[in-house]
Amino acid sequence: MRTRVVITGIGGICGLGTNAAAIWEEMRAGRSAIGPIGNLALHDIKVRTGCEIRQLPDHGIDRKQLVTMDRFSLLAVIAAREAMLQSGLSASDIDTNRIGTIVGVGICGWETVEENYRSILLEGKSRAGIFTVPKVMPGAAAGQVSMNLGLRGPVYGVTSACASANHAIASAVDQIRLGRADVMVSGGTDAPMVWGILKSWEALRVLSPDTCRPFSADRQGLVLGEGAGMVVLESYEHARARGATILGEIAGVGLSGDASDIVAPTIEGPESAMRACLADAGINAEDIDYLNAHGTGTKANDQIETAAIKRVFGDHAYSLSVSSTKSMHAHCLGASGGLELIACVNAIREGVVPPTANFREPDPDCDLDVTPNVSRERKVRVALSNAFAFGGTNAVLAFKAV
């Protein structure tokens, strides 16, 4: 019999709030945190809309660790500490070799990269900061989480652009299923609100000039945000033995590759990932009540994702509640799946589907029930979370109540 993997703690930080409960409250209310970017160091960026964390919470992280951390690692540690606190676990409660962490990152420590480029090339300094390499590397967030929490089990980073968090969580599920760990702390993080990253996305011509309107006929593109979403996963037996409060279960995982184009999505790749997730979970398409869509707000993504959903779910596609919470927390790249997990788990626990905010005009090519603007009470038995990334890397997670 396959090992069941359950959720016992959730942590998050993004423009919507500095903890998971605050993030869910804003999601449920349909309030978008997207707005004018306040960072004054963005120079000649044309698109000035984003979703920033205006002020970090008091986190109590030791200064000696802080000086070795880029912002993306700091956000991951803040969210991981919250998730561990909710789980009721600490390193002293468990063999630390049986608990690890896998953190997904879409980019890397670009705040540090940019600081060093500017100090050397513009200010004439002769050398980079001493901690530049360990601050920049994509695996830094996983290492920093492990050090902060004392985790000595499987520890590594995962990077697959916008699907990084879902891939990281899928990898953590595998560690528990394979018996390599009893507990894993996993999720995703990214801090892209720096000049070089925004300038690069600007060149792709996919950024919205105002806000993110997934599935709306007048959508103009995606909006970038920053944040982290982390979760504590345990084998069901381990959680039950210690009397933990179980928030939900990872019912299934589905992974696929488009093998087509580095940026243009296909219908077949997302379709394959959703079908694989349902098969892994051992559930039928009709069992899904809520689907948290990748829903970036670009013309191509929303139309293709809608078509893929119709292929997988058939007539049931029109009975699904669908929404894109990126309309509220923006596209946080490697953190997105971790933040969207907050929506899925709470939708199941509270029987409330969070809305797609900023929706204005129905699109005949996106004709599913996208829960426009206002949350909806509905019993959610199983929720699916889609993540489809540049490179054609797709990862879908299924969540259910225990």
| Active centre residues (catalytic) | 162, 294, 331
What is the side-by-side order of every strand in the sheet holding 5-14?
155-158, 99-105, 183-190, 227-235, 5-14, 248-257, 393-400, 382-389, 290-292, 321-323
Q: Residue 385 — φ and ψ, nearest 5°?
A: -125, 120
Query: What CA–CA distance (Å, rounded) separates 119 from 105?
Result: 25
Query: What CA–CA distance (Å, rounded) separates 275 from 58?
Result: 42
Query: What CA–CA distance (Å, rounded) separates 363 from 208?
Result: 17
Contact 32, 328 (CB under 8 A): yes
Query: Could you give the 3-state DSSP secondary structure of residue 350?
Result: helix
Instruction: Specify the amino acid at residue 101.
Output: T
- The alpha carbon of residue 41 and the mean position of all alpha carbons in its chain are separated, in whole angstroms, by 26
Query: What CA–CA distance (Å, rounded) separates 234 from 8?
Result: 7
Question: Closest Cα to residue 219, out of 361, 321, 389, 328?
Answer: 361
Helices marked H in 226-380? 236-241, 268-281, 299-313, 326-329, 336-350
Query: What CA–CA distance (Å, rounded) separates 183 from 88?
Result: 12
In the numeric block, the tokens 């720096």 are attached to 194
Contact 368, 394 (CB under 8 A): no
- The alpha carbon of residue 401 and the mean position of all alpha carbons in its chain are separated, in whole angstroms, by 20
Contact 32, 327 (CB under 8 A): yes
The string over 185-209, giving b where at least 16 C-beta atoms fall within 10 Å of a residue's C-beta and e elsewhere, is: bbbbbbbbbbbebbeebeeeebbbe
